[in-house]
Amino acid sequence: MAQYQSFPGAVGDSRSLDKLKALHLPVLADKSFLDVGCNEGFFCGFAAFQGASRIVGIDRSQLFVERAAARFPQVDFFAQGWDELPDGQFDVILLASALHYADDQAALIRTLVGKLTANGVLVLELGVTHSAEPIWEAVVRGIDRRLFPSMPMLREVLGDYAWKWMGPSIRQDGDPVARQVIHVSRRRPLAYLLMQPPGYGKSSVAGGLFPKAGVPLISGDAEVSAVARGESRASPALVEAIRRDFSPYSIDKAIQRVFAEQLGHELIALLMARAGDGDVAIDVYVPHEQHEVMRAIVADHGRIPVVLDWGRIGEAPLMEEEMERQANAYYLAMLPSDQPGAVAIDWKHAGVVDEVWIERGRLMLRGWAVGSDGRLPDEVSIELGRKTIKADRLERQLRPDVQQALGLPHALVGYRLTIPITADVDLSAVVRKLKVSFDGQATNASNIKVRASQ
C-alpha cells in the first residue's frame, strides 16, 4: 500500500509534520488521545512525545496498524473501523483527512463528540467546498469520488456544538478541495454571575437583560431568605450561619458568614438546583476575595462562568461606624455652646452596667455612664479579675431615662460595648469578677441583668 504519512526515513503523499502544525492540537500531556483513521501513527507518536496519559489509534487497515505499532510500541493501535470505538471517553480525538470515507459523515461526528470528556475537543481536519448552499458536494478525485460538505452544511451539522474554525490545513498535491481545521466540543451551558455588593443595581441590570433573553434568573437573596425561614433543604450548619444575626436588610452579611465558614459550596448548590439544564443568570452577592471560589463552584456544576462586572452606580453610603460618629457629633453640637453639658450635680464619674450577655463569641455590655463634662466617657475598659480588656467597639445610645433622672441636657450617655473573649467563658463568673472603668475610674457592676447567651 502506498506510503501516506511522512517520517524522517519514509516520505509519503502527506506532509505530516506540516499537518501536525496546522492542527492546533491542545497540549496533550496527561490527556487521553484517540486518533481515528490513524494510518501509521504519526499523530499518536506526537501524543506519546508530549506525555499523553492514554493513547489509542484505530485504522481499518491491518497493514498501517502493524507499521504504526512497530514505530510506536508504547501506543495501543487497533485494526478496526470507526463503527466500533475503544471504550471510555477521550480528552482529545483526532479525525484527520478521513471524514469523507464515512457513509454517514454527520453521524460519525456526533458519535465522536459523544466520546469526548466534558471539556474534551474533537479536532477535525477535512475538505470543505466553496458552495454557499448547505450541501454535501460530490467531488471527483484522482482515486475516487467522495462527498465533501460546504461551510453552510458544516454549520448545520455542528449546530448543537461549540466549534471554532482554527484555519486552513496543508494543501496536498492533487487536492480538489481545500482542507480546513475545526475544533468541536460539547456546548456547555453558561452561568452569568452578578456578584457585586448591595447597592450596585444587580437586580436592575439582571432584570433588564435576562428575562428578555429567556434566561432564567436566580436570586441569591431569595434563597438566603428561604433558608432563614426554614423553607429550604439546607444543612443545619448553613441554616445556623444564615440565621445568626439575620436581617433581610443585610443579607450580604449572612452571605459573608456563609463563605467565611466554607459553606459557599452548599449555598451555590441550592441555587444551581433551581437552574435547569440551560444557561442561567445568578444574582448573588459574593465577597470579592471569594470570586475565584465561586467560579470554581459554578464550573463544578458543569457551567461556564461568565462574570458581569460594572462600577457602582451613585455614591456609597457612609460605613455604619462613621455614620454613627457623625450623627452623634451632630447631636452633641446642638447643645447650647455656653453650657456644654454642665449640670448642677457633683460630677464624679458615674456609670452603671445594666445588662451582660454573650453574642457571636463576644461579651456584650449595655449600660450608661457620665463623665465630669456630662458626656459619655471616651475610654471604657473592662477588668475581669486581673485582666484588663479594651472594648472592641463602643456604640453610643440615647438614654432619655438617665437624662431625666439626672437632669442632663442631653440623652447620649448610653453605651453598648463589645468585648473579645475566649470561646468557653462562663457568664456568671464574668459577672462576679466584672469591673468597668470609665476614663480610668472603676465602677463596680451591681444589679446586672444577665441575658441568656445567643
Ligand X SMILES: C[S@@+](CC[C@H](N)C(=O)[O-])C[C@H]1O[C@@H](n2cnc3c(N)ncnc32)[C@H](O)[C@@H]1O
Contact segment (CB under 6 A) with ligand X among 47-55, 57-65, 144-152, 304-312 equals 57-65
Q: Which of 22, 25, 33, 37 binds ligand X (CB under 6 A)?
A: 37
Note whether 64 binds ligand X by CB under 6 A.
Answer: yes
For residues 218 and 398, what is the distance between their CA atoms, to the nearest angstrom? 42
Q: Pick between residue 124 and residue 365 the one whose CB is nearest to ligand X.
A: 124
Supply the DSSP string of 203-265, one letter for each residue.
HHHHHHHHHHHT--EEEHHHHHHHHHTT-S---HHHHHHHHTT--TT-HHHHHHHHHHTT-HH
Q: Pick between residue 78 and residue 331 the one whose CB is nearest to ligand X.
A: 78
Burial code (b: 16+ CB inside 10 Å, e: under 16) for 47-85 equals: bbebebebbbbbbebeebbebbbebbeebebbeeebeeb
Contact segment (CB under 6 A) with ligand X among 35-43, 134-142, 313-321, 365-373 equals 35-43
For residues 70 and 86, what is the distance between their CA atoms, to the nearest angstrom? 20
Note whether 39 binds ligand X by CB under 6 A.
Answer: yes
Note whether 82 binds ligand X by CB under 6 A.
Answer: yes
Note whether 224 binds ligand X by CB under 6 A.
Answer: no
Residue 40 C-beta: closest distance to ligand X, Å: 8
Q: Would you give the DSSP letter of residue 447?
A: S
Q: Pick between residue 4 and residue 347 the one whose CB is nearest to ligand X.
A: 4
Q: Pick between residue 44 and residue 218 the one whose CB is nearest to ligand X.
A: 44
Residue 95 C-beta: closest distance to ligand X, Å: 7
Q: Pick between residue 41 and residue 414 the one whose CB is nearest to ligand X.
A: 41
CA 344 centroid distance within chain: 63
Angle (deg, nearest 10), helices 251-260 and 236-243 = 140
Pair 33, 90: CB distance under 8 Å: yes
From 22, 37, 47, 56, select the one nearest 182 (Cα to Cα). Answer: 22
Contact segment (CB under 6 A) with ligand X among 56-64, 362-370, 371-379, 407-415 equals 56-64
* Residue 394 CB-density burial (10 A; 0-12 exposed, 13-18 middle, 19+ buried): middle
Burial code (b: 16+ CB inside 10 Å, e: under 16) for 160-174 equals: ebebeebeebbeeee
Pair 386, 413: CB distance under 8 Å: no
Note whether 105 binds ligand X by CB under 6 A.
Answer: no
Note whether 77 binds ligand X by CB under 6 A.
Answer: no
Contact segment (CB under 6 A) with ligand X among 55-63, 141-149, 191-199, 237-245 equals 55-63
CA atoms within 13 A on the CB side of 434: 26
Contact segment (CB under 6 A) with ligand X among 59-67, 68-76, 133-141, 246-254 equals 59-67
Q: Which of 15, 60, 71, 291 binds ligand X (CB under 6 A)?
A: 60
Q: Pick between residue 60 and residue 301 the one whose CB is nearest to ligand X.
A: 60
Sheet bearing 54-59, strands edge to edge: 76-79, 54-59, 32-36, 90-96, 116-127, 179-186, 161-168
Contact segment (CB under 6 A) with ligand X among 47-55, 90-98, 133-141, 354-362 equals 90-98
Note whether 283 binds ligand X by CB under 6 A.
Answer: no
Residue 79 C-beta: closest distance to ligand X, Å: 9
Neighbours of 118 (CB within 10 A): 11
Closest-approach residue to ligand X (CB)? 37
Residue 9 C-beta: closest distance to ligand X, Å: 17
Note whether 92 binds ligand X by CB under 6 A.
Answer: no
Q: Which of 28, 69, 97, 364 binds ligand X (CB under 6 A)?
A: 97
Note whether 81 binds ligand X by CB under 6 A.
Answer: yes
Contact segment (CB under 6 A) with ligand X among 52-60, 153-161, 206-214, 248-256 equals 52-60
Note whether 252 binds ligand X by CB under 6 A.
Answer: no
CA atoms within 13 A on the CB side of 167: 9
Note whether 189 binds ligand X by CB under 6 A.
Answer: no
Q: Pick between residue 97 and residue 196 the one whose CB is nearest to ligand X.
A: 97
For residues 91 and 296, what is the distance between their CA atoms, to the nearest angstrom? 20
Query: Contact residues for ligand X (CB under 6 A)?
Result: 4-5, 14, 16, 37, 39, 42, 58-61, 64, 81-82, 96-98, 101
